[in-house]
Chain A
Amino acid sequence: MSEIKIVFTGSMGAGKTTAIAAISEIPVISTDVRATDADVLQRKETTTVAMDYGELTLEDGQKLRLYGTPGQQRFEYMWKILARGALGLVILIDNSGSDPIGELVRYIDNFREFINETSAVIGISHMDTNPEPDLQSYYSYLQERGIELPVLPVDARSSDSVVMLIQALLAMLEFG
């Protein structure tokens, strides 16, 4: 049987590695390296350069593989490689970034074809400390583009919160 996987993508510092770690049953295999770019360093000490990997064993023994893409634009070539054959996409956006909606545009544009074929869910992190833009602003942008995807606040450290995103993704795949 082909690989069963869900891909976590999204802006740098949005919590992709943390979200995978929150639900993975194995320690996340990470390709984090110490950040050297000034703009990255301002936000976190390390950054993912190739991918993150976690997994869950389903009841029948199959593995659900959880991949995280690198957040920096220069590693964009990895995104589509990782997404190939995935069930769906979790897009995480850091609301404390300088242009969170612009970041969302970038990911939606990059994965548009993939999203049309499967589905995606959008998780907004750091909304507790940075409430703007609010959820309505994200929905307004999506509606302008005729995109009907769930947008939910997420705490990447909380397994409940990450599970909610995947529940929403699976519901979109089955019923949306």
Chain B
Amino acid sequence: MAHFKITTKALNKNDDVLFKSMLQIVNAQLTAEWSFHDDAEIILVDMEEREGQQFWQQQQAQRVLIAYAREKPAEATWFLPRPIRVKPLIQTLNALAAAQQFLPTAAASSTTTPATTPSISSIPSTPAIKTASPVVSTASLSQDAFDPEQSLIGLLKQAVAKQQAMCFQIAAATPLFFSAKRQQCLTAQLQLNTLAATPTHLYNVSQEQIQCEPIAETAVIKAIAEQGGQFYPLAAIIWLTALSASKGRLIVGHLLQQPVKLKHWPNLAVLPHQPHHIRLAAFMTRNSATLATVAEKTQVSIAQVVDFFNACQLEQLVEHTEQAALLNKNNVSDAKRSLFRGILKRLLQ
């Protein structure tokens, strides 16, 4: 069984004691083992305290934070309503454990795959620019194929086919609304150019873990009025789900050895992305190559290349070629590479 450590921040003494004792009480009903440790990476933060709010602002990109408040803050992915009660606590911790096990992080000290979830590879899939030697050994890739139909993408396609507005949610996390009328999705604001900071819980999990509920179109409008958020093209959510749920598994029906090329750049002005996706787009629109060669030439891990390829495949950007064709481009000097890195660093400050 996976083991997670959790701690608290800015809770008053009573709530802190209550949380610790409740954690022990509910442990038998949790799908993972949870224990309280001061140095844990998962932190319950009292959002009604100034100290908690400041901590949230500083740490939300680095740690897994659970908002503790009477009303769910818009920016929170994970939420525990005040006062602490057994049922919401169990739901939140179980959902968080499920999402964490899909997303290998330091938060879990050991992970095993629960029976309800498909197997996952141990390939890290969220870091931004990889500066170490690339992982080009395809032996490290999961042998499982990525089937988009088993993720949120399958549910979205069903909603599109039925022309039915839907609400998708896991536990107390931020929901995603699909408007059939607009053919768009409404959710909390996504950071398009910093995918790592985007809450990806809903996009990681298999569809059995997602609660989906048909709703009226007016409910979508009501949701935006009450909770804020933003409409995104369906393509952006499908793209994000493919990137998040692939986990280094090649999409069904494709061979790793097949040379591929992109027809043109994905529209990164609307599709969530990380810096390495820009590198991949630049290389893959100019060269026809196997994914292992793409990884080698761009210094991006093979798992990240596969995730990007899957997302491009769903965007219908991929063309398969008989043979690899690499441009005979002069090597860029180390001084030039260093200059480009310097410019990028300055621009992204």
Contact = CB atoms under 8 A, between A and B. Distances in A.
A59 interface: yes
Contact-size category for A: 20 to 34
B297 A175 contact: yes
B332 A152 contact: no
A37 interface: no
B285 A56 contact: no
Interface of B is mostly: helix
Contacts of B346: 56-59, 64
B343 A176 contact: no
A161 B137 CA distance: 35
Interface stretch (B84-92, B165-173, B265-273): B265-273
A176 B286 contact: yes
Interface in B292-349: 297-298, 332, 336-337, 339-340, 342-348
A172 B282 contact: yes
Given A152-B265, A152-B269, A161-B269, A166 B340 contact: no
A151 B193 CA distance: 17
Contacts of B285: 148, 150, 176
Interface in B189-213: 193
Contacts of B264: 135, 139, 142-143, 148, 150-151
B290 to A, nearest CB: 16
B265 A167 contact: no
Contact of A58 (B265, B269, B342): B342
B282 A171 contact: yes
Contact-size category for B: 20 to 34
B83 interface: no
B342 A150 contact: no
A163 B347 contact: yes
Given A59-B342, A135-B267, A164-B269, A171 B348 contact: no
Interface of A: 4, 23, 56-60, 62, 64, 135, 139, 142-143, 148, 150-154, 160-161, 163-164, 166-168, 170-176
9 contacts: A56-B346, A59-B345, A148-B286, A150-B265, A153-B270, A154-B269, A171-B283, A175-B282, A176-B286
Pick the 3 closest A-B CB pairs, nearest first.
A171-B282, A176-B282, A175-B283
Given A59-B342, A160-B193, A174-B340, 16 more contacts: A4-B339, A56-B347, A57-B346, A64-B343, A148-B285, A150-B264, A151-B264, A152-B269, A163-B347, A164-B268, A166-B343, A167-B344, A167-B347, A170-B340, A172-B282, A175-B282
